[in-house]
Structure 1
């Protein structure tokens, strides 16, 4: 694997959906969440003010949402805010303490780029490099990475700071971005990213 290029000081770390609703043992539990959390914390500690936490916000009640999201929340009625309670959208306690200076961006879908507010914020800051961590590797992390590629950001995936529900899903995402998207995404462990972040 090629050596990581230096990461500029104004890079932004986007930590994807490390929320209570995805912590074991709930219905949406991401199995690797607890093992990944220390690496996410290490990356966040490097520059809390340059960190953005995205949060996935479920529908308020069963059957809400546009198109296929309506049937999704009929199926997952127990995970709507009305039934599960608003606390489920909160960040893991270990991460919540970083806000502020870290920021939060809420989203009703997998992609944080959906309404344009994240891209506008990054453009205002003239950020050209983003570092991605969080969960779930083959869902919201994937959507975050693909959007970053489309916007032309230099994108670094923190391979030991992303989590999934299975080894297979994790391995597939790392393989996808080291092979198929190698011209768009650099993949490196957190220790290396921290060392190369100037």
Structure 2
């Protein structure tokens, strides 16, 4: 396994761990099941436990009905009507228990799009608390995690992507995204392992 390490130095006080969509919606045997989610959650828990007060979780919230969404999202939810909030068990929206126990002090931001930056209040919170570095974990690597990572790059954040703290339904695209980050975004995205991240975040 490749180990790039934190090439831009240790992690300080201006860091937030941003965990994307580790919810029952994806961890359970639902139509959106991410098989790696339960396997990845204990690794993510190590980061959360290290600095729970410097952790924020996002939750992906589908609309009540497809008609509540505009444009291509309406087509998406027409295809996945059984996954709208009007059709699912509301407990599926909750964080997986091994992570939910850290809220509070960890924060939760709800979103309706892929990127964490679509969550109302997240951007303002990052600015007000002087955050300049984001450690990103969660799922899926090639959808919501990637949307968040590229959004953070556009906003100028130092991004540390936890290689063993992200999960996907697709091994191929998961590996491709990690390779893309290493090969094309090496000045803006550091792909590191959780043991390296925890050791560097003191």
**TM-score, reference length from structure 2:** 0.94
Query: Which structure 2 segments of 5+ residues have no match?
Result: none
- Structure 1 residues 34 and 157: alpha-carbon distance in aligned structure 2, compared to 1, 3 A threshold: same
Q: 1:44 aligns with which of 43, 48, 51?
A: 48
* Structure 1 SS opposite 2:180: helix
Inter-CA distance 88–116: structure 2 relative to 1 (3 Å threshold): closer
- Inter-CA distance 175–124: structure 2 relative to 1 (3 Å threshold): same
- Paired position in structure 2 for 1:122: 126
Residue 189 of structure 1: aligned partner = 193
Distance 1:40 1:111 in 2: 19
Cα RMSD of the aligned pairs, angstroms, is 1.2
- Say if 2:64 and 2:86, in contact at 8 Å, map to a contact too: yes
Q: How does 1:1-198 map to 2 (within 5 A)?
A: 2-4=4-6, 5-114=9-118, 117-198=121-202
User: Segments of 4+ in structure 1 off by > 3 A?
Assistant: none
Q: Is the contact between residue 10 and residue 50 of structure 1 (CA under 8 Å) also seen in structure 2?
A: no
TM-score normalised per structure 1: 0.96
Q: Hey, what's the Cα distance between the residues in 2 that align with 1:2 and 1:39?
A: 18
Q: What SS class does the counterpart of residue 58 from structure 2 fall into?
A: strand
Deviation string 1:63-107 (CA, Å, 9 cap, x unpaired) is: 320111111111111101111032221100111111000000100
Unmatched runs of 5 consecutive residues or more in structure 1: none
1:53: how far off? 0.1
